[in-house]
Amino acid sequence: MTNMIGLILSESYLQLNGLTDKRSVEALPIAGRYRLVDFMLSNMVNSDITSVGIVTKTKYSSLMDHLGSGKEWDLNRKNGGLHIIPPYSGRGIQGLSEGTIDLIASASSFIRRSKEDHIILSKGNIVANIDLKEVEKFHEENSADITLVYYESKEATNRDLGDHIVLEVDDNCRVRGIEIRPIRPKSRNVFMNMVLMGTGLLQYSIDEAYARGDRDFIRDLLIKNLSNLKICAYKFEGYVGFVHSVCTYYSANVDMLKEDVRREIFNSSRPIYTKIKDQVPARYGSEASVHNCLIADGCIIQGDVRDSIIFRGVNIGKNTKVSNCIIMQDSVIEAGCELKHVILDKEVTVRDGGRLIGDLTHPMIIDKGEVV
């Protein structure tokens, strides 16, 4: 057993056009049958963490409906279990937090009640399969006050790195610098928004920061304490997908079509759990043609589908061509349509002969329930 609790922080400030109008980023459907939050939540459960808090902020009804009591993650238990922490109420503004420190402060009672020595903090918009027990082992072996998890992005351009937080790490795994969305990054070590530290240290640090009026965990707690605390960095070698824009959401889905990525993420020894929905298997018509796709259960496929993610209950008609698309649950694409580089939200209907063409860097989005 590990000696950790988990805390997942909402990324509700992120706006992915119509995809996040009525749901948080953590509740975004991905890979045919999952939600983004499933990955980090499953990582915690697979690492024997039995007490997990999820801090909500806005547009959280979809997320709460998906998580329920936490049964699918074995978190519906009397001791520990899943805790949905309601919108922040403090500093005179109910339901509106001013920064990451406020989000963590809203979970103070959850943290104080815990008996575990360590806490893992994470955002919920990360696609990865990571063993957090190895992070805890690294943390203890290095006698670190705080451990940050990162990966080396060897192929990213400076512009790509400018969307992230970049760490300077010395040969002893000590963090010597932190750059937030740098124009000219000094390293290629991308912070994964995962932090391991003592529960007591976190509570003390948040109380102190809160009293000073500080708001941002990275700027006001980590950067200001680089010389005062032993902040180390654990390097993760596996696949990492960040979802912070429409393009990164599209890319994270498309990456699931790669066999090596799929084999790593959906590892049978460290499964990714999600809400169970019992539906009949997908049915393919006599004229159907499918190549390099993820097809969920309950679908009816009668057309040509290539390099696409098809969610539960989707109906694709005859003589329809779908390529490089993400088609969410219960959408209907009627006969004779052509779709390329398109994201259809839930319950969208594309009428006979419809033609929707997007671009790899700017996929077309059709909002939930639309008829086109």
For the ranges 20-24, 39-43, 91-95, 195-199, the lowest mean pLDDT is seen at 91-95
The residue-averaged pLDDT of 113-135 equals 96
Mean pLDDT of the chain, nearest integer: 93
Instruction: Output the six-digit token pair for 26.
Output: 């953590």
Confidence of residue 185 (pLDDT cuts 50, 70, 90): very high
Looking at residue 188, its pLDDT comes to 94
> pTM for the complete prediction?
0.94
Rg (CA), the chain: 21
Tokens of 47: 């690492």
Q: Residue 59's pLDDT band (boundaries 50, 70, 90)?
A: confident
Q: pLDDT class for 210, splitting at 50, 70, 90? A: confident
Domain map (residue ranges) of the chain = 4-265, 283-366
Whether pLDDT at 90 is above 60:
no
C-alpha 333 chain-centroid distance: 28
Give the residue from 103, 120, 35, 28 showing the smallest Cα distance to 73. 35
Q: Is the pLDDT of residue 92 over 50?
A: no
Q: Which pair of tokens denotes residue 13?
A: 């400030």
Structure tokens at 312: 């539960």
Give first-to-last CA distance, the chain, whole Å.
Answer: 52
What are phi and psi for residue 219, nearest 5 degrees?
A: -70, -45
Q: How confident is the model at residue 45 (pLDDT cuts 50, 70, 90)?
A: very high
Q: Cα separation of 121 and 344, whole Å?
A: 32
Tokens of 46: 């697979």
Who has greater pLDDT, 160 or 184?
184
Contact 88, 103 (CB under 8 A): yes
Rounded to whole angstroms, how far apart are CA atoms 266 and 273? 10
- Pick 117 or 99 by higher pLDDT: 117
Q: What is the pLDDT of residue 87?
A: 67
Round to whole Å and give the CA distance between 95 and 84.
14
Asked whether the predicted pLDDT for residue 93 surpasses 50, the reply is no
Band of residue 296 on the pLDDT scale cut at 50, 70, 90: very high
CATH H-level, domain 4-265: superfamily: Spore Coat Polysaccharide Biosynthesis Protein SpsA; Chain A (3.90.550.10)
Question: What does the block give as tokens for 71?
Answer: 């049964």
Percent share of the chain, pLDDT over 90 = 81
User: In CATH, what class is 283-366?
Assistant: mainly beta
Segment 190-219 shows an average pLDDT of 93
